[in-house]
A and B are shown apart, each in its own frame.
Chain A
Amino acid sequence: MKTSSRPRRRGLRRAIAVAFAALGMVAGGVSAATAADLPSTEATDQFIFQGIIRDGADPLEGVEVTVSGNGVEETAATDDTGAWSIGVAEPGTYTVSLDPATLPDGITLRSAEFESREFTTASTSQIGVLFPLDSAGGGGGGGTGGDSGTGGNTGTGGEGGEPAAPGGGTGEPGSAAAGTTTNDFWSTVLARTISGLGFGLLMALGAIGITLIYGTTGVSNFAHGELLTFGGVVFYATTTLINWPVWVAVIVTLVASAAFGWMHDWGIFKPLRRRNVGLVQVLIVTIGLSIALRYLFQFLIGGGILGLSVPRGDVITLGPVIMTTADIVSMSVAIVVLVAVGLFLTRTRIGKATRAVSDNSSLAASSGIDVDKVIRIVWVLGALLTGGSGILYTYFIGANIKWDVGFTVLLLLFASVTLGGLGSAFGALVGAVIVGLVTELSTLFIAADLRYAVALLVLILVLLFRPQGILGRKERVG
């Protein structure tokens, strides 16, 4: 295992070069950007079907995949990394099929049902399509990702490259990807509910971080999304660029995230507390931090979508619902972590101290609690949880990462926290699950690209009628 930093740096550089080449990064226009042309994200293809076809660890080149439906029929062949992607402009249901004739001899689809399947774009903008293979040689182990052995592999990202967008907005990241075997309404509802639940659980990890920090320090941290991206980026770097085993990568990512949170407090927020800087000022400082970090990430990993060389596992069919093991693992991990956080806050001394500081920091200080220490712990814990959600999020939404992924979910995190009632950890969990469900289920009735708008609209409506949040007590608003 490579542990020194030199190979890592080399790996990163190489990967950046590969990423730029593979994604056809649009480099022009950025340096010339002026007020006259704030560059913008502009993807003509709203939805991208993509995947990597491998036999075990060996990418298969030249396998043809066809996407058809809504008047579109497009065929693509896998490149030398086994990656393919087809973009479509319109949402809707498409048939994605693989031409078995183009598979190398001796390799077949594990089951004929995978040859041609229907996918609905509604819930995601990038749709990972899996073609589980069986090789006649036997040893391949099936699945599409195989082991994380090939390395340096990127290339699942958006076709034509999403241009780097320094000034522009962001599209939306994908979200949970439970599909259905049928097109019947209730099956779709079920699948979306599961997706929404998973999405909500993931967000809960990040939302609890926000709410703990808000509770103990009063700071609305607009740079919180970058903690999520940070987790994703480190995970990407460790798994995909330097090919460490996943469990090592997870540990490294969590440690790095915790350290990152510690640095936030040590380097920025504790000095600000010492200077007695007002909360509005601190809020704007976090906006500055968010901008700086976001473009630092873009500087490091580029402006496109990068694929993770982590297998998404097998496809599992539960009744009418299709999911991958990745989905189930993500959800389970999120639940375990959430329970652990709950126990930490209610059972341990530090957890109780945290809640005491949240309730009333001067009172807590006068009863002998070291408020600065508690805040430091909260930053570390918050960053750890959010970094962890970064891992799960990048994994969950289709094993890819983009430089602004955290920023795009930031508002949803804030929505979760506000919905549940500012400053309450349990409220954040409930809020996040509600936001997740609303986001996914809304796609049953309205266009998928409006689903985040619906979640934010719910936020505004709740503020209108119950400003204290769903779980907050009415008395709080005088």
Chain B
Amino acid sequence: MDFLTILNNSAAEILSPSTAAFALATIGLNVHFGYSGLLNFGQAAFMAVGAYAFAIFTMQVDPTATLGWPMWLSFVVAVLVAIVAAVAFALVLGIPTLRLRGDYLAIVTIAAAEIIRFTVRTSDYSAVTGGSQGLRGQDYKGDITGLNPLTGTTYGFGPWTGTAYDTWIRILAWTLVVVALILVWLLMRSPWGRVIKGIREDEDAVRSLGKNVYSYKMQALVLGGVLGGLAGIMYVLPRAVQPDNFATAMTFYIWTALLLGGAATVFGPLLGSILFWVLLAFTGGMLSGLQQIGAFGDMSGTQAGQLRFVLVGVALMLLVIFRPQGILGNKKELSFHV
């Protein structure tokens, strides 16, 4: 068992662009659940909407080639298209459900997330969405690759070494995370954030004070959804677009990360995301290492790999029961209603 490799792989997760994308989605969910009390179980769908809108726009419209736009403009417009798509998705989800009791939003978001995944997966639209195969990375990464100011071969050190492209995406993704954190911090110390937190505590009370609760919930849903959409873009920039990456499981991992770090805290989602992926890589490495030295008898490597997802599930349960405020949460400011 190569302990150093395991540690190295785990440490690499700390700064990987995918962790950044995941953190961004978790920050979005934090706006939903942590601050506004919205039970969104479809955050993966916001990612899917963002990722597909970005990639499909780039591939189908391809302004760089067809309209002669500069690459930066084409990229920015593609990102804007993704944001608009995420906003539209949030409105579609929110308009029917935000007036209803909270668990209706839960059911509708999880159902809508699956509808999105089935739709992009179906063979009927595979000319656009790539069906179950998804979309190839090279088909939509042209602009962002062309915009890369880094010309060397490798950057970074230790576990955080990557190619010029990796490093470029890493910088972009983490910059976005920092911007999102500042945005959330600014909003949550403002009167707007106060209204949002008030709604989480008791809608009727806030309504009786003359605030349009529906509108605020919608704003929060849109904000968190847009962060999810941007997370989707960042998630697919280092790889291809795969419909099944945006399954319910992804949403559940985002929830786990949020509760791990601490809902309703600014840095909780960031800490939770990093820890989640580091621990997952670490337990994965350890289990497969132990399996290789025969610690589990004739268990196969795949089976050992399943065990860590069992651990994820158990960890989520224990966390919610015994430390619902997460690592960074204030004990007085528990993240759940009783």
Contacts and interface: CB of A to CB of B under 8 A. Distances in A.
The reply to whether chain A is a binding partner of chain B is yes
A288 interface: yes
B100 A467 contact: yes
Contacts of B252: 287, 291
A42 B244 contact: yes
Interface of A: 13, 17, 20, 25-28, 30-38, 40-43, 46, 89-91, 164-170, 220, 268, 272, 275-278, 280-281, 283-285, 287-296, 298-299, 302-303, 407, 411, 414-415, 418, 446-447, 449-450, 452-453, 456-457, 459-460, 463-464, 467, 477
Given A30-B302, A46-B123, A463-B96, A35 B18 contact: yes
A467 B302 contact: no
Contacts of A37: 239
B16 interface: yes
A325 to B, nearest CB: 32
Given A168-B247, A281-B324, A463-B100, 12 more contacts: A27-B300, A27-B301, A31-B288, A164-B306, A166-B309, A280-B336, A284-B316, A285-B321, A288-B318, A290-B313, A292-B313, A298-B309
A34 B103 CA distance: 32
Contacts of A287: 252, 255, 316
A169 B310 contact: no
B111 A411 contact: yes
A268 B316 CA distance: 13
B301 A30 contact: yes
B67 interface: no
Nearest to A25: B302
Contacts of B314: 288, 292
Interface string B102-132: 1110111011101101110111100000001
B71 to A, nearest CB: 25
B337 interface: yes
Contact of A285 (B22, B103, B320): B320
A272 B318 CA distance: 11
A280 B39 contact: yes
Contacts of B319: 288
Interface string B61-85: 0000000000000000000000000
Nearest to B166: A36
A272 B321 contact: yes
A31 B285 contact: yes
Contact of B310 (A13, A91, A167, A299): A299
A289 B245 contact: no
Interface string B305-327: 11101111111111111001000
A299 B306 contact: yes
14 contacts: A30-B302, A34-B280, A35-B13, A35-B277, A38-B250, A40-B243, A168-B242, A278-B337, A281-B336, A292-B309, A295-B307, A447-B124, A449-B118, A453-B114
Interface of B: 9, 12-13, 16, 18-19, 22, 39, 96-97, 100, 102-104, 106-108, 110-112, 114-115, 117-119, 121-124, 132-133, 238-239, 242-250, 252-253, 255-256, 259, 277, 280-281, 284-285, 287-288, 291, 298, 300-307, 309-321, 324, 336-338
Contacts of B111: 411, 414-415, 456, 459-460
Contacts of A411: 110-111, 114
A281 B321 contact: yes
A360 B45 CA distance: 36
Given A30-B301, A299-B310, A450 B320 contact: no
A62 B143 CA distance: 54
Contact of A291 (B121, B122, B123, B309): B309
Contacts of A291: 249, 252, 309-310, 312-313, 316
A318 B140 CA distance: 53
Contact of B281 (A34, A43, A284, A296): A34
Contacts of B117: 169
A30 B313 contact: no
A292 B310 contact: yes
A278 B303 CA distance: 34
Closest 8 pairs (CB-CB, A-B): A169-B247, A292-B313, A288-B316, A291-B313, A31-B288, A169-B244, A30-B305, A288-B317
A450 B253 CA distance: 25
Contact of B338 (A165, A220, A276, A414): A276
Contacts of B336: 278, 280-281
B157 to A, nearest CB: 19
